[in-house]
Amino acid sequence: MKTSSYPLSNIVKIVFLPIGGFALLITAWWLTAKYLTNLMPTPLVALKANLDYLSNPFYVRGPGDVGIGFLLFQSLKRVLIGFLLGTIVAIPLGFLIGLSSTANRVFNPLIQVLRPVSPVAWLPVALAVFNLANPSAIFVIFITSLWPTVINTAVGVGSVPKDYLNVASVIEMPRWKQIFKIILPSSLPYIFTGLRISLGIAWLVIVAVEMLTGGQGIGFFVWDEWNRLNLSSVMLAIAVIGLAGLALDLIIRKIQSYFKIEQIEG
C-alpha cells in the first residue's frame, strides 16, 4: 500500500503544489482587480489584451512600437555586455585582493563603501560621462556586476586549502602557475556563486535603469505602458522578466556544471 502511494505523492509534490502557488497568486490578482480597483484588468482580460504580443513577439511596426520579444532581446543584450565587462574586471580584481594583503587593504574599504550603493545611483554619473542612454545603462550594469563577483572570488582565493598550496610549493611550482593550476580551479565554485548573484542583480537593475533612460527595452516598456494606463501589458512584462531571469540563472548553472567542480574531499 505504502509503496504504491509514493509515485502519487511525488506527482502532487512536483506538479500540483507549484501549480497551487501560481493559482494563489492569480486568485489574489483576480480579487484585487474585481473588487478593489477599476484600473487593473482581471487575468482573463489581460490575457486577451496580450494575445497580439504573445503571438507576434518580434514585430516591428515603428521605432516606438516593437514586439515584446524584441524588447527583451534589447535588455538582455545590455545586461550581457555589462555583465561580461564587469566579470572581466571583477575576477582578476578578486584574485588580486585574495592573494595580496596590500591590495586587500587598498580595495576592501572602497568595496565596502560602494557595495551598498544602489547601482542606479551611478546612472547620472554615467550619463554625464557618456552623454548617451545605451552606454550609460551598460555602465550601470557593469558596476552592478562587479561587487558580488569581486567579493566571492576574493573569498574563494583566500580559502584554498593550505594543503593544496603546500603540495604546489613542495614540487616547486612557480607562483603564477599555482594561480592557474591550483587556486583558480579550487575557487571556481565561489567565483560561480559570485557570477550568479551578479547576473541576478544585473537583471533586477536593468528594469529600473531602462525606466529612467527610455529607449527600447523591457524596463521602459513597463513604464511606458503604465503611462498609457495599460496594466495588461505591465502584467505580461512582469511575467516575461521573471521567466527571463530564471532562464539566465539556469544558463549560468549549466555552465557551472560543465566545469564539473568537485570540492568534496574526505
Positions touching other proteins (CB under 8 A) are: 161, 163-164, 166-167, 169-173, 177, 181-182, 185-186, 188, 260-266
Residue 193 Cβ vs other proteins, minimum distance, rounded to whole Å: 16
Judged by CB, which is closer to other proteins: 13, or 253?
A: 253
Non-local (6+) Cβ contacts of 57 within 8 A are: 67, 68, 69, 70, 72
Output 1 or 170, the one with its CB closest to other proteins. Answer: 170
The minimum distance between CB 240 and other proteins, in angstroms, equals: 38
Q: Would you say 65 or 172 has its CB closer to other proteins?
A: 172
Q: Which is nearer to other proteins, 167 or 246 (CB)?
A: 167
Closer to other proteins at the Cβ: 158 or 245? 158
**Nearest distance in Å: CB 185, other proteins:** 5
Contact present, 140 and 126 (Cβ < 8 Å):
yes
In the complex, what is the shortest distance from the CB of residue 178 to other proteins, in angstroms, rounded to a whole number? 10
Least separation, in Å, of the C-beta of 157 and other proteins? 15
